Structure 1
């Protein structure tokens, strides 16, 4: 009798926990603003919690970026914007190889940029009305004794999954996608996408260094 009562009690607790989890998920803010806050909180909490590991192996920042940021990044769309007019002249296989290299490049670039983080506060702008498929979310990186660093994250709703994902970031008005498009266009024009993919692969393989501030 006692065992049966205990099992019933445990079952009710598990049922209640499952219901609360479902409600929590249902109430989760899946807007670009909510997702920006969630990603930032998780990212910087993990950086703070893993400082000893990062100091021992700076490349561990790549692992954090991969886990905390890349699920939110629309790599293929960003990559297609970087390729611009040259996109149509590439084969599906070439694009797949470039997108894979570009994915690794983004991880390396963000990991290296995050070596400059030193417990600054992050301020995400209040919720704004967004269109059905595009949104821009402004984030301020508050720095002691300095002007805030203004970042804008460009979000787009993935037409296949229906999920919001980032495809570009601007820092003080400078777009990462536009910068790379301009930087890499001459390589595409002169040597083609295979040469660009090889160069992006080399850049992605550069180790993260804490000395680069």
Structure 2
């Protein structure tokens, strides 16, 4: 749960906002949207109490638009991405996206007054990929280091990886998915994701 909670707190930092429509320094973007979304969660008791409709709506609106899913999928599949057919690639992205949304949405209601400490950003003005380093401060708990790998896509910043306490989200999933593909091929992995998403959906009813 600590891992899921940390991912959530990280993801709300890169939620959709009008500021994303203009190229601003990556840390300014992150902090501005973090303030917006944290404010929503703090004020909405339904979200804190696990209202699924509101939780998923918030995840869809504030998290999904800020992920470069094409890039993420290529990273987590590695060489297996180019070996997959177009249909398999599309099916994987659809199911992986659903898995991430459900994972993060399930953690939205767990937010309880965590705060974010931003470390100084070191980037050149023309950098297209930037790592934002932060600490998640938890009342009564140890601070957690969370790094956000963002890249400039068009006129916005998009997230392509999150590293929690030194563990990369992309690397973690790549290991899991590589194992599944070795055992059951690409179709086997996709079916595993389909089953897991159905199971998660049924558990929330």
Residues in 2 aligned to 1:142 and 1:209: alpha-carbon distance in whole angstroms: 30
**Offset at 1:73?**
0.8
TM-aligned CA deviation for residue 53 of structure 1: 4.8
Check 1:64–1:100 CA distance in 2 against 1; reply closer, same or farther (3 A cut).
same
**Alignment deviations for residues 36-74 of structure 1 (CA, whole Å, 9 cap, x no partner):** 113322222221222225525245322212111221111
Q: Supply the distance in 1 between the matched residues of 2:175 and 2:192 (Cα, whole angstroms).
A: 15
CA distance in 2, matches of 1:204, 1:174: 24
Residue 146 (structure 2) aligns with? 151
Aligned length: 185
* Cα offset, 1:129, TM superposition: 1.5
Q: Give SS of 1:128's match.
A: coil
For the Cα contact (< 8 Å) 1:54–1:60, is it kept in 2? no
Instruction: Name the TM-score, length of structure 1 as normaliser.
Output: 0.75
Q: What TM-score, normalized by structure 2, do the two folds share?
A: 0.78
1:104 matches 2:98: yes
Q: Distance in 2 between matches of 1:163 and 1:76?
A: 15
1:36 aligns to 2:30 (yes or no): yes
What RMSD over aligned residues (CA atoms) do the two structures have, in Å?
2.8
- Which has the larger displacement, 35-44 or 180-189? 35-44
Partner of 1:177: 170
Which one has a bigger Cα radius of gyration? 1
Residue of structure 1 equivalent to 2:132: 137
Counterparts of 1:68 and 1:148 in 2: how far apart (Å)? 25
Q: Give secondary structure in 2 for the equivalent of 1:200.
A: helix
* CA–CA distance in structure 2, aligned partners of residues 147 and 155 of structure 1: 25
Deviation at 1:165, TM superposition (A): 0.6
Segments of 5+ residues of structure 2 without an aligned counterpart are 1-17
Aligned to 2:9: none
